[in-house]
Chain A
């Protein structure tokens, strides 16, 4: 009876405990990584924000027209801050992925693998989006100034249509 009790009840419970302990260490490792990522991300954001501000990055972005896009869309309080937030997000994401990988389960590993497979598409899309925004802003202003100088009554309408057409063209080329 005792042998049965040991084999049927205690041994599985012991194994479960062992597995739970092993998983718990992975889980704690993941949590530590995520907390580390959060702290590191926050520090990186603050440092980058201050460095970019000192380097007058906002003025450069204003010249390129990015500043106005950031302001208009309400994405962040300034371009420097947005850059800091992007870096913070990337660090958190990286540590989160590392943490998931630490769990070592097929599910999390598959998730991490798929993310890295998708990453180039994501970056390419971001580049197209940013490039498109810059180009459309430049073209829109070119059209506006030319139309005003030609004294066309609908100069602003014409200029407003330029980014729409440009974005349409970008959308067609967006990597899928």
Chain B
């Protein structure tokens, strides 16, 4: 394979419709922004049945000539490496990271194969901070519809920010720039054969980078438009993996986050420009109904996780007419913190605990969406910022409730 300074990794699974565009954009980006660097595009395919690999071959044929002409000594290669084991992103990421390590790459960019909004500039934005500014981890920063990315907005971003004190707006974004040394560190992580590898690999990488004090920044990529493979229908599984991973990582890094109060911004590189975003349709009535049913039917489960006062708050909200339904930020934060504590204390089976969060999460999204219905993107962002501050403000509650390790003493504060 030989050495490569830059690796672009594209994990794929049945992305025949979009992968050609992604590979083409990667090649253009590498040619345009890094013409003098040896680069390698690596696709790690999970055994696609729709001709994804053939689609890459097609893109390869279209661009090989140009690359050969421009960079005869350092052509951009294409590797199609079907990965084995878990049919998910994690296995692909592991393959890509291993190739980056073998190639002794200085920088690795990971992008999803189902992106329709990806442009050649993205590769400059993801790789330049690593190559020229010595950042280890470049997280994406997108413009998204106000009702898009609700797991991120309601739990993952505020909780990660409050815990580790870094404001990385899209911690499970899907596109990342990674330094060679951090790639090697990721490879040494013991998550590759665990459930974290399915949906939780992104939050694991972000958390690891922040918690272990690697140099982290964000880059503005514009809009993020996916193909038709949004995992929305399997919300329960996604919530389980992502939130379960966040809760699990709280145990791994509790000695880190227990010493953090407040948060600092992660540098945002690139110029935030206005872009059009696709509306994310949501069904408020269905979400509210799910919340009501959850509060009614899962009460015995919630009783072992949430305090009676918070349960009363949830029940009172469930009794409201749909048009007046609202959950306060404080109540939602208390619920999330209590679920994290319940997960840590194993008050019930962990999978049951996280899955039982689904109706409350849908209730929060319904409440948020109802209140933000007529608000602009900036107003919605301000609303999320306010929620984050409540997460930070209530962190002492989490700290006080979190069981100490043997031999530790709780400080007077």
Contact B286 A145 (CB under 8 A): no
Within 8 Å by CB of A148, from B298, B347, B349, lies B298
Closest to A159 in B: B297
A44 to B118, CA, bound (A): 71
Interface status of B68 (Cβ within 8 A of chain A): no
Which of A138, A144, A148, A155 has the most chain B CB atoms closer than 10 A to its own CB?
A148
> Is the pair A145, B355 in contact by a Cβ cutoff of 8 Å?
yes
Is B401 at the interface (CB under 8 A from chain A)? no
| B193 CB within 8 Å of chain A | no
In the assembled complex, B352 has its CB within 8 A of some CB on chain A = yes
- Which A residues lie within 8 Å of B404 (CB)? none
B356 engages A151 (CB within 8 Å): no
Instruction: For the complex formed, measure the closest distance between the CB of B36 and the CB atoms of chain A, giving whole angstroms.
Output: 53
A145 contacts B356, C-beta separation under 8 Å: yes
Please report which residues of chain B, range 24-45, place their CB below 8 angstroms from some CB of chain A when the two chains form the complex: none
| From B286, B304, B346, B352, contact of A142 by CB (8 A) | B352
Whether a CB of chain A sits under 8 angstroms from the CB of B158 is no
Tell whether A141 is near chain B: CB-to-CB under 8 Å: yes
Beyond A151-B286, A151-B290, A155-B293, whether A145 also contacts B347 by CB under 8 A is no
* With A149-B236, A151-B289 as contacts: A144 and B297 at CB distance below 8 Å: yes
Whether B55 sits at the interface, judged by CB under 8 Å, is no
Across the interface, name the chain B residue whose C-beta is closest to A60: B346
Residue B200, interface by CB 8 Å: no
User: Is B179 an interface residue, CB under 8 A from the partner?
Assistant: no
| A63, A149, A151, A156: most-surrounded residue (chain B CB, <10 A) | A149
Kindly state whether residue B348 has any CB partner on chain A within 8 Å.
yes
B261: CB under 8 A from chain A? no
B349 touches A138 (CB 8 A): yes
User: B180 contacts the other chain (Cβ, under 8 Å)?
Assistant: no
Contact of B297 among A138, A142, A148 (CB under 8 A): A148
Which residues in B have their C-beta under 8 angstroms from that of A46? none
A155 to B347, CA, bound (A): 22
Tell whether, in the assembled complex, residue B293 and residue A144 are in contact, meaning their CB atoms are under 8 Å apart: no
Q: Which of A120-153 contact B (CB under 8 A)?
A: 138, 141-142, 144-149, 151, 153
Whether B352 lies near A141 (C-beta < 8 A) is yes
Q: Name B326-352 residues within 8 Å CB distance of A.
A: 346-349, 352
The answer to the question of B359 belonging to the interface, with a C-beta cut-off of 8 Å to chain A, is yes
Q: Is the Cβ of A155 less than 8 Å from the Cβ of B297?
A: yes
From the candidates A62, A138, A142, A145, name the one contacting B298 in the complex (CB within 8 A): A145
Residues of A within 8 A of B358 (CB): 148-149
Q: How far is the CA of A41 from the CA of B290 in the complex (A)?
A: 52
A63 B355 Cβ-Cβ under 8 A? no
* Residue of B236, B346, B348 most packed against chain A (CB within 10 A): B348
User: How far in angstroms is the closest Cβ of chain B from A107?
Assistant: 51
Task: Tell me the smallest distance from the CB of A79 to a CB of chain B, in Å.
Answer: 15
A155 to B290, CA, bound (A): 12
Task: Give the most central of A62, A145, A153, A155: most B CB within 10 Å.
Answer: A145
Given contacts A63-B346, A138-B349, A151-B289, contact A145 B301 (CB under 8 A): yes
Nearest-neighbour CB distance to chain A for B176, whole angstroms, equals: 30
What separation, in Å, do the CA atoms of A153 and B297 have in the docked complex? Answer: 10
Interface status of B173 (Cβ within 8 A of chain A):
no
Task: Say whether, besides A149-B236, A149-B355, A63 and B297 are in contact (CB < 8 Å).
Answer: no
Contact partners of A153 in chain B: CB under 8 A: 293
Chain A residues 147-170 with CB under 8 Å of chain B are 147-149, 151, 153, 155-156
Give, as a whole number of angstroms, the nearest-CB distance from B282 to chain A. Answer: 15
A148 to B292, CA, bound (A): 10
In the complex, A151 Cα to B288 Cα: how many Å?
Answer: 11
Please state if B348 and A141 are interface contacts (CB–CB under 8 Å): yes
Q: Are A145 and B352 in contact (CB under 8 A)?
A: yes
Q: Are B297 and A149 in contact (CB under 8 A)?
A: no
Contact with A along B231-247 (1 / 0, CB 8 A): 00000100000000000
The residue on B at minimum CB distance from A153 is: B293
B283-299 toward A: CB 8 Å interface, digit per residue (1/0)?
A: 00010011001100110
Which A residues lie within 8 Å of B286 (CB)? Answer: 151
Q: Are A63 and B352 in contact (CB under 8 A)?
A: no
Q: How far is the CB of A118 from chain B (nearest CB, A)?
A: 36
Residue of A nearest to B353 (CB): A145
Residues of B within 8 A of A155 (CB): 293, 297
Chain B proximity of A144: nearest CB distance (Å):
7
Proximity bits, A42-62, B CB within 8 Å = 1, else 0: 000000000000000000001
Interface of A toward B, CB cutoff 8 Å? 62-63, 138, 141-142, 144-149, 151, 153, 155-156
Which B residues are closer than 8 A to A by beta carbons?
A: 236, 286, 289-290, 293-294, 297-298, 301, 304, 346-349, 352, 355-356, 358-359
**Extra pairs beyond A144-B297, A146-B236 (13, CB < 8 Å):** A63-B347, A138-B349, A141-B349, A141-B352, A145-B298, A146-B355, A147-B297, A148-B297, A151-B289, A151-B293, A153-B293, A155-B293, A156-B297
Pick 12 A–B contacts, CB within 8 A, sort by A: A63-B347, A141-B352, A144-B297, A144-B301, A145-B355, A147-B297, A148-B290, A148-B359, A149-B358, A151-B286, A151-B289, A151-B293
